[in-house]
Amino acid sequence: MNSKSIEAFRSFNRFYTAVIGLLDRHILSSNYTLAEVRIMYELYHGRDQTASDLVYKLSIDKGYLSRVLLHFEKRKFLKRQRSGEDTRVVFLNLSGEGKKEFELLNKASNDQISSILKEISEEDLEVLLTSMSEIKRILTPK
């Protein structure tokens, strides 16, 4: 791998993180970090997940995940439920309040992306979306 390829890849990452505001301390003008919103996303879209499931899916530090989950619990966003089959297993789900909070964040994210995409011609949008799909395909472990 040559240094020119590495620099081009890193340059694109710096560009894209700035475009969607990932360098802000809190994402989408909310009180949450990117990691917190991402954890909330997984809890919203999955049912009866464990902390181990989230660690695996997100490649996140166990200690950090634990702190985020405690924060969610204090805000009444999280429900923990022991498995009926194995009491060592604790399932994590968003509460009704947690779901409402995620839905607000999800709408803010959709609005942000909509405002970016509305400035792009249909032709360029098709190229962009195809390119993004290709990036995902290439970078997905086989």
> pLDDT tens digits for 96-110?
999 999 999 999 999
Domain membership flag for residue 72: yes
Tell me the CA distances in angstroms from 101 to 11, 19, 39, 72, 93, one per residue in order: 33, 24, 13, 11, 13
Structure confidence by residue, pLDDT tens digits, 71-88: 999 999 999 999 999 999
Domain membership flag for residue 8: no
Domain membership flag for residue 101: yes
Domain membership flag for residue 111: yes
Q: What's the pLDDT band for 135 if we cut at 50, 70, 90?
A: very high
Give the CATH number of the domain where residue 70 resides: 1.10.10.10
Domain membership flag for residue 91: yes
Residue-range definition of the domain harbouring residue 102: 28-139
* Number of domains, the chain: 1
Domain membership flag for residue 23: no
